[in-house]
Amino acid sequence: MNETNWGLESVSVDFGNTHALQDVSVTLSPRTIVGVAGGDGSGKTTLLRTLLGLLTPSSGAVDRPDGDDVGYLPAGSGIYPDLTVEENLKFAAGAYGVRGDDYRAARDELLARTGLDEAHDRLGGKLSGGMRQKLGLAMSLVHRPRLLVLDEPSTGVDPVSRSELWRLVSEAARDGASVVMTTTYLDEAGRCDAVCVLDEGVVLLQGPPNDLVAGIGGRVGETTSRPETRYAWRRGASWRVWSPDEFNSSAVRPVNPDLQDAVIVAALRRRHETGEVAA
């Protein structure tokens, strides 16, 4: 398989006076998974649509393979509810020119890997949410794409199915695909080889998850009552707090930060620097 990198270089996308993406660069390499994380309105879907060629950037460059070398799983699985599992898969295969023995081999492999072999004659509309997502993923993989683009594949899916979906995505990367997936789950983003965290169209953090956590700097602590600092946020039943130095209160217990802490600290810093939140 060709070892070409794909991605976006200094891409901006404007809708009138709205800056959906601002100077965003993402490199997608074979055998790697890049997670694009962020909240609603952060620019995740705009990034994917620009990568797929569905949106034209206002500036910057997009590099992607030809259409037949791209696999796409839209939000909501993209399956046809009135077709059976196998009919959905055959339809997708035909659209990519995969027929005959090649189709039968891909069908047997994908139905087995997704655990849908025993449900091959069930209507798509009768599948559970997790099964629909696995079928949608199988449809996006039937032609063995070089670039796999997944729009929030595990949103609204039960934990067991999330784990199974992650296994399938990891196998696609292991087989040589470049994978990019949007997600609202930071624990899931933390399992990717690299993460691009967007905030209002701007890259907030980018890099391997462990490097992002290590780059927080300062100290992260936990306390049961809200600290008197602008760098504090609720987490579960307690509060997290960040300080550039040691904590001056015995009520704050130092903790080992994770990716969620890194993202929140970066977001708070950005908002204070831009004046969105008062000091």
Main-chain phi, psi angles of 173, to 5 degrees: -65, -40
Q: Give tens-digit pLDDT for 69-83.
A: 999 999 888 999 999
180 with 266, same domain: the answer is no
Q: Residue 279 above 80 pLDDT?
A: no
SS3 125: helix
193 with 214, same domain: the answer is no
Main-chain phi, psi angles of 23, to 5 degrees: 55, 55
SS3 50: helix
Would you say 241 and 227 are in contact if contact means Cβ atoms under 8 Å apart?
yes
Token match 């890049």: residue? 34
234 with 100, same domain: the answer is no
Query: Quick one: what percent of the chain has pLDDT higher than 70?
Result: 97
Instruction: Tell me if 18 is assigned to some domain.
Output: yes
CATH number at residue 187: 3.40.50.300
Residues 6+ apart with CB under 8 A from 259: 186, 187, 189, 190, 195, 209, 212, 213
Instruction: Tell me if 176 is assigned to some domain.
Output: yes
What pLDDT score does 274 carry?
Answer: 67
Q: Give tens-digit pLDDT for 206-243.
A: 999 999 999 998 999 999 998 888 899 999 999 999 99
218 with 179, same domain: the answer is no
Q: Residue 278 above 50 pLDDT?
A: no
What pLDDT score does 1 carry?
Answer: 44
Residues 6+ apart with CB under 8 A from 106: 93, 98, 142, 143, 144
Instruction: Tell me if 119 is assigned to some domain.
Output: yes
Average pLDDT of every residue of the chain: 92
Among 44-48, 157-161, 166-170, 189-193, name the one with the lowest average pLDDT: 157-161
The CB density around residue 101, as the number of other CB atoms within 10 Å, is: 7
**Exposure b/e, 77-98, CB count within 10 A at least 16 = b:** bbbbeebbbbebbbebbeebeb
117 with 235, same domain: the answer is no
Instruction: Tell me if 142 is assigned to some domain.
Output: yes
Instruction: Tell me if 116 is assigned to some domain.
Output: yes
147 with 241, same domain: the answer is no
Q: Give tens-digit pLDDT for 72-122.
A: 999 888 999 999 999 999 999 999 999 999 999 999 999 999 999 999 999
Residues 6+ apart with CB under 8 A from 240: 220, 221, 222, 232, 233, 234, 255, 261, 264
What pLDDT score does 246 carry?
Answer: 85
Count up the domains in the chain and report the number.
2
Instruction: Tell me if 36 is assigned to some domain.
Output: yes
260 with 181, same domain: the answer is no
203 with 121, same domain: the answer is yes
What pLDDT score does 230 carry?
Answer: 87
Residues 6+ apart with CB under 8 A from 148: 70, 71, 72, 73, 140, 141, 169, 172, 173, 177, 178, 179, 180
Position 192 confidence tier, pLDDT thresholds 50, 70, 90: very high
Residues spanned by the domain of 39:
6-208
The DSSP 8-state label assigned to residue 158 in this structure reads: -
pTM: predicted TM-score of the whole model, two decimal places: 0.91
Residue that finishes a domain, picked among 157, 189, 208: 208
Instruction: Tell me if 47 is assigned to some domain.
Output: yes
Residue that finishes a domain, picked among 183, 208, 233: 208
Instruction: Tell me if 156 is assigned to some domain.
Output: yes
68 with 176, same domain: the answer is yes
Position 276 confidence tier, pLDDT thresholds 50, 70, 90: low
Structure tokens at 269: 């810093």
Main-chain phi, psi angles of 18, to 5 degrees: -95, 125
181 with 236, same domain: the answer is no
Residue that finishes a domain, picked among 208, 228, 258: 208
162 with 248, same domain: the answer is no
105 with 189, same domain: the answer is yes
The average pLDDT across 153-178 equals 90
